[in-house]
Amino acid sequence: MKGIKFEKVSKHYQEGDRKFTALNNVSISVQPGEFVAVIGPSGSGKSTFLSIAGALLQPSEGNVTINGTSLANLKPKELAKLRLEQIGFILQTSNLVPYLTVLDQLLVVKKMKGSITEEDKRFAKELLTEVGLGDKLKKYPDQLSGGERQRTAIARALMNDPDIILADEPTASLDTQRAFEIVELLSTGLKARNKAAIMVTHDERLLKYCDKVYQMIDGELKLLEEVQSAVR
C-alpha cells in the first residue's frame, strides 16, 4: 500500500517513577495525493507524531508503514536510506545552507546519494521554476525574502522525489499573505505530484487547503469532520 499508515501507535517516556504518554493509540492513513493537517496545542503530541512519521523516533507500541514497509523491521542504515529517498521534510524555518545558492540547496540533496548528473540539475531547475524561483537560481539565502526561502525549502523537499512530505509549521515565520501563498503552493504542488503529505500547524486559517483535518489532544488523534465541512 502506498502512503503512510499508523496502526495503534503509542509513545511512552519514563520520568522518574512516572510514565508519560506522548502518543496514545494513534491510527491514521494518508494516501498519495492527500494533504492532511494536524492541529493541537503545544505539548499535545504533534512533534512526537511527526518524528515517528519521519522515521526519526521509534514508537513504544503499534506499527508504522511507509509504502507497505514496516519501519519496525528496518535497521538504522535502512531507516536513514528510507528518510533520504522516501521522505521530504519542510521545517518551521527554511534551514537553508547560508553559503549555497538556491540551485545548490537542491543539488546538495542529490550529492548525499552520490554524484550529481545533468538530469539532476534539470530537475532542480524545474522544481525551482514551479515554485516561482526560476530567476533566483544563483541567489544566496540572505538575498531572499522569507517566503522565497520557504519556497526553496519546499523544492528541496521534493528533490529526491519522495512519496511522503512532512511539514512542521511551514508558515510559522511568515506573514498572513505569504503563509497562504506557501500552503496553497504546497497543496497544489503535492497533489500534482501525487504525494502523501502531513502538515502540523497552529494556524487554522490554512485548513481550507487541506483534504482532512485532525486534532491532537493529550496524545490522542481525532478526525475533525466538522472542520472539514466548515472550511470547504
pLDDT digits (tens, 9 = 90+) for 161-209: 999 999 998 888 788 888 888 888 889 888 899 999 999 988 888 898 9
Domain segments of the chain as ranges? 4-231
The answer to whether 187 and 35 have CB atoms below 8 angstroms apart is: yes
Sheet holding 69-70, edge to edge: 18-30, 4-15, 61-66, 69-70
**pLDDT one-digit tens code per residue, 57-86:** 999 999 999 999 999 989 999 999 999 999
Please provide the CATH number assigned to the domain covering 4-231: 3.40.50.300
Q: In the structure grid, which three cell numbers stand for residue 13, read together? A: 517516556
pLDDT, tens only, 97-154: 999 999 999 999 998 878 899 999 999 999 999 899 999 999 999 999 989 999 999 9
What pLDDT, on a 0 to 100 scale, did the predictor assign at position 141?
A: 95
Q: Could you please report the per-residue DSSP string of 7-61?
A: EEEEEEEEETTEEEEEEEEEEEEE-TT-EEEEE--TTSSHHHHHHHHTTSS--SE
